[in-house]
Amino acid sequence: MNKVAIIGVGHTKFGRLQGKNILDLLCEASLEAIDNSNTGDKEFDSVYVGAMSPGVLNHMTGIASALVDRIGLIPAAADHIKNGPASGGSAIKAGFLAIASGVNDLVLVVGGEKMTHITTPGFITSNVATITHHQAERRHGVSLPSFAGLLTRAYLEKYEAKLEWISEIAIKNHKNGALNPIAHFQKTIDEFMKSAIQKGKGQWNDVNEFLRDDKTNPIIADPLRLFHVCPISDGAAAVVLCNAEIAKNYCDTPVLITGVGQATDTHIVHEREDVTVLNALRNCSNQAYKMANKTPQDIDVAELHDAFEILEVIESEDIGFFKKGEGARAAHEGLTEIGGKIPINPSGGLKARGHPLGATGVAQVVELFWQLRGEAGKRQVEGAKTGITCNFGGFGNSIVSILVERM
Amino acid sequence: MKILKDVEKIEWKKCNICGLLQYEDHLRCLKCKNNDFERIEASGTCKLLTFTILKAPPAEFRDRQSYALGIVEFENGIRVLGQITTQENLKIGIELKPVYKKICNNLDGNEVHAHVFKPIN
């Protein structure tokens, strides 16, 4: 198997990006990655585009070949990879396999989504909920946040954890996001509170009081409130991959993808023996660790899929950082802060960087690329050499992990 | 208008080879890949394993501000996800019984019928 290197990255700002369509965003991230990797005059073998629902949300299909046309990469092969919220991770896996197999030498992977223009109440919630089991789940009125509510309550009861510990993860991720110039929300929750006070919306003594207020932090899926849930966002992220043997022709400090894993679990969440266990993550992260010959103890920094803050807890356990049931306490003790034992989501995670669904799995790898090259600015995890991602699809029934290392 | 009915019996199936109890739509056993099953009906009351109160319903349920959803487990191990008839006094472990009723009109205007769960006390 050939070694696979990342030689350049691109990342649009995440947020509410008006006046740009999905294809504009994919083009912007792709061209930045091509510039960043010094491959502007090269022929690419393949382009993989991760996006969940451009057909439904943007009335655009065939976006991979359309992208290749716009950015001048004809006749490169072009595929649109759809795996729900894990579309970006799946697209990276496809690019990795193309180079590892020796079939391709130079590949562009880009993920993106354009979502915030949809204003119909419940439309995105319903669209994303079509990923759940039609008969056993969706017809009963579930949404992805409702599953997160079910999991949070089960977790808190089983492991005697506190909801405040889960809220502290949102506080941490907003603190990290405030240091990330491409994040959707570049504001700490303390700053959210102060700006609400300035606008005369209320008075709170501290952030915890602010987060307990039904008006500023309404319940979405009890016990989960607004600040436990990530936003929907617009944005795109891209990486250029090549055979590691030629990586130094383009880039002084390439980053290697040394482990890739992907696994599934039951479609119906309540068929899992324990709903607080992500078997798909246990399986896919084990594949990635094994391929890279690493263990969870070797990881310096992780980008996990905190679409809901409970997921960061459960994922931090099932990816091997903490024992089952100890993730929330570990976060409470500061172990997952930048500077802690295992920093999680220095980017701000989905909570603060934002969540343009198809972009997320690629954005996680872009953040690790910056971290491993020492380019993450004020949110830098000092000396990070090895990182791993969890890109969560469906409601935990399709998960991708990518393990990266300094070359 | 059509009425979209769920089966009124709550049934899962049990693998005749390895014994795993599973949802009724699996064509091969989740555990051993065989396709020899026996149908098993939910029996007795059920207990609440976890629940949430959803305050941001999907479009199909747009006429309701909120409702409770729970995962319940029957005495013989069958699990079901469904709405709960009340949002008050819910607690993990309470006993409930299934009630079959209309739960919404879907986006095509058809009635959707399904099991919901009512606390016994």
Mean pLDDT of A42-53: 97
- CA-CA distance, A347 to A235, in Å (whole number)? 15
A87 falls within a domain: yes
- CA-CA distance, B68 to B55, in Å (whole number)? 9
Q: What is the pLDDT of residues B105-118, one digit of tens each?
A: 888 889 999 999 99
What CATH number does residue A15 fall under? 3.40.47.10
* Residue B7: pLDDT band with limits 50, 70, 90: low
Q: Residue A38, SS3?
A: coil
Interface of A with B in 18-37 (CB under 8 A): none
The two most distant CA atoms of chain A are separated, in Å, by 61
Q: Residue A121: is its pLDDT beyond 80?
A: no
* Probe site for chain A from B7, B13, B14, B50 (most A CB atoms < 10 A): B50
Cβ–Cβ of A142/B22 closer than 8 Å? no
Q: Residue B6: is its pLDDT beyond 80?
A: no
Q: A361-385 as b/e, with b when 16 or more CB fall inside 10 Å?
A: bbbbbbbbbbbbbeebeebbbeebe
Tell me which chain A residue has its CA closest to the CA of residue B105. A139
Mean pLDDT of B33-57: 95
The mean pLDDT value of chain A amounts to 97
Size of interface A-B (CB pairs under 8 A): 117
A318 falls within a domain: no
Cβ–Cβ of A135/B69 closer than 8 Å? no
Q: Residue A167: is its pLDDT beyond 80?
A: yes
Chain A residues close to B51, C-beta within 8 Å: 150, 153
pLDDT at B9: 86
- CA-CA distance, A339 to A380, in Å (whole number)? 9
Mean pLDDT of B68-72: 98
Mean pLDDT of A244-251: 96
Of residues B2 and A43, the one with the higher pLDDT is A43
pLDDT at B119: 97
Cβ–Cβ of B57/A142 closer than 8 Å? no
A158 touches chain B (CB under 8 A): no
Q: In chain A, how many domains are there?
A: 1
Domains in chain B, please, with CATH? 43-119 (2.40.50)
Q: What is the pLDDT of residues A13-34, one digit of tens each?
A: 999 999 999 999 999 999 999 9
Chain B residues close to A153, C-beta within 8 Å: 50-52, 92
Please tell me the least confidently modeled range out of A47-61, B2-16, B22-36: B2-16
Q: Residue A344: is its pLDDT beyond 80?
A: yes
- CA-CA distance, A261 to A266, in Å (whole number)? 17
A262 falls within a domain: no
Place of tokens 């690790």: A368
Q: Residue B29: is its pLDDT beyond 80?
A: yes
CA distances from A290 to A2, A246, A287, A303, A319 (A): 16, 25, 5, 19, 13
A76 falls within a domain: yes
A90 falls within a domain: yes
pLDDT at B5: 64
pLDDT at B89: 96
A224 falls within a domain: no
Mean pLDDT of A160-165: 97
A54 falls within a domain: yes
pLDDT at B109: 87
pLDDT at A133: 97
A99 falls within a domain: yes
Chain A residues close to B55, C-beta within 8 Å: 218-222
Residue range of the domain that includes A237:
4-118+232-249
Q: Residue A362: is its pLDDT beyond 70?
A: yes
Distance from CA of B4 to the nearest CA of A (A): 10
pLDDT at A256: 98
Among B4, B57, B92, select the one facing A157 at the smallest CB separation: B92
DSSP strands (E only) in A279-397: 301-303, 386-389, 391-393
* Residue A120: pLDDT band with limits 50, 70, 90: confident
* Residue B1: pLDDT band with limits 50, 70, 90: low
* Residue B74: pLDDT band with limits 50, 70, 90: very high
